[in-house]
Amino acid sequence: MIKHTFIICAYQESPFLEQCLHSLLAQQTVKNGQSKVAIFTATPNFYIEKMSEQYQIELFIGKSSGIGANWNEALSFVETPYATIAHQDDIYLADYGLKVLNEFEANSDLNIVFSDYSENDGDNQLRARNLNLKIKSFGLNLMSLFNSRWYQRRIYAFGNFICCPAVSYNLIRLRDFKFDESLKMTLDWDAWERIMRLPGQIKFIPEKLMYHRIHQDSETTVNTLDQNREIEEYQMFQRYWPNFFAKLLMKFYVGNQKGNQ
């Protein structure tokens, strides 16, 4: 029985899309029939259609514009209880889906499940685990010590530790949830913060189960360079802290952004 969908959000002509597809088709849960793979795009083109036909993967064409709108529309096509929005540049290790599904099946109160991760680059080389990633892993482990929503949100007030493509969703519990389409860079931070307020729990798997690619054309790099990230992160810190402390945290955060360039 298919319980889970990897829905790839494909945009234009990514040279890494095929590698992402290979990693998803190699998932244990795809091979045993628990997961399926699909592609969503709002920028249809011959390359994406060719990938869909070559690997016999269902392709959904959307009309949305913007990251948040794309993610919302992509999830609207998912019919399984659980979903992962797979980023076209990233690579998922073969047991990612299995370990995520095991967590969802073991606890029906879980809203999202997410893993730790590593970073690679445009040449498929793993990047050194820099201070930024070490801090994120520490934050995730600290946040996972207790299931209290209040406690988790207080830890999360110090930054966005969760890697967006490493997250899977319980769409039964989150049927009314939507990403904020007005945000470009912190829509994931905003999403996790709002999900933490909802009834239910979140679950961190302390294993590096996917590779998040950082390269010159990635959304992370683009939004860092044009300061969208800095503006939106400051707005997020203001949800938790008075302005003077939000500015102090931003000084540290801006320095860490250099690791995503």
- Domain harbouring 204, CATH code: 3.90.550.10
Number of independent structural domains in the chain = 1
How high is the mean pLDDT of the chain? 90
pLDDT band of residue 103 (cuts 50, 70, 90) is: very high
Taking residues 202-215, report their average pLDDT. 92
pLDDT of 248: 86
pTM: 0.90
Higher-confidence residue of 124 and 27: namely: 27
Range of the domain at 160: 4-260
pLDDT of 220 higher than 80: no
If DSSP states are collapsed to H, E and C, what string results for the chain? CCCEEEEEEECCCCCCHHHHHHHHHCCHHHHCCCEEEEEEECCCCHHHHHHHHHCCCEEEECCCCCHHHHHHHHHHCCCCCEEEEEECCCEECCCHHHHHHHHHHHCCCEEEEEEEEEEECCCCCECCCCHHHHHHHHHHHHHCCCCCHHHHHHHHCCCCCCCHHHEEEECCCCCCCCCCCCCCCCHHHHHHHHHCCCCCEEEEEEEEEEEEECCCCCHHHHHHHCCHHHHHHHHHHHHHCCHHHHHHHHHHHHHHHHHHC
